[in-house]
Structure 1
Amino acid sequence: MGRLVHFRVAGRDVHIVKLVGAFIIFGAALMFVQSSSQMFDSWDIMKYYDSCVLGISSNQTPDYYKSQFGFCAGILREATGIVVRPDHPFLTLRQFSVGLLAPMASLLFWLAVLFLGYLLYRSDRVYLPIGGSFGSSGVAPFSGPVRKFAPKGRK
């Protein structure tokens, strides 16, 4: 059996690695929810940007057009970091995918941290054979059941 490290809290023994795993799970779950919210917000803002730019009428004055485009582009820049030029106001497929790439990477990162926290939390059920007794040849002795057979010809 492996040696478990315990910590006494309020008169009870607490497995330290399991406690750390629980904190990692809690923090990673919160960050996973936050990054998924950020991903959906980025998606919604990029969709809103397209409708905002399409809503600008071409028969308005140039100053109104610039201010309205500046408003739409400002919202997009603050939310996703994508800068759009006035001469090409619509999002390209590359800009759209780059706008979603960072939130998706963040989501997958926190999912991996959540899995790591779960592995640490379940570490009390996993025993790794770090130390052991070995024979004189350096090979672990056989510890299985020993079978005895009768010699052939005898019954």
Structure 2
Amino acid sequence: MKFKNVVLLFLAFLLNVIAYSQISTEKAQEDLAKTIFKESKEKAKLTSFEKEDGVKKVKNDIPYYSIKFIGKIQFLKAGNIQLMPFLNSAKNSFLEVIDNNGDFYSNGGLFRLVYKDEVLNIEGNIQYIKTENGWKAKTILIAIKENQK
């Protein structure tokens, strides 16, 4: 009886460690899809997601988990998107689809015209922080891949 309780306690501990040791691909995909839809104000959606790599780090006694990914997004509305690399590294500026009212020069390098239903390749990183309630997405950085072929 005592041995059975020890085994059950050990199994519960082991399941807890496994569950919180890394982020599932499904959770990362869900978090990214929500971010894209929200930050684009419902003008873009995630259509493909692939986890390329993941790494767990501890900084100042706080566990972090970072996921590198590639994927595809589909624009649900035509308009101009920002292509400034220095902004893409700090925020997901290209997700803001701006109406094309003639004020933009799409070929000028700062903006790019996207069409309704156009699909672009993306890449990025999701950083999670471990809290008392599990892993929470801390930072999600997305960039348009240079080579769209």
Q: Shorter-chain TM-score category?
A: under 0.3
Higher relative contact order by CA 8 Å / sep ≥ 6: 1 or 2?
Answer: 1
More helix by share: 1
TM-score (norm 1): 0.27
More strand by share: 2
TM-score (norm 2): 0.27
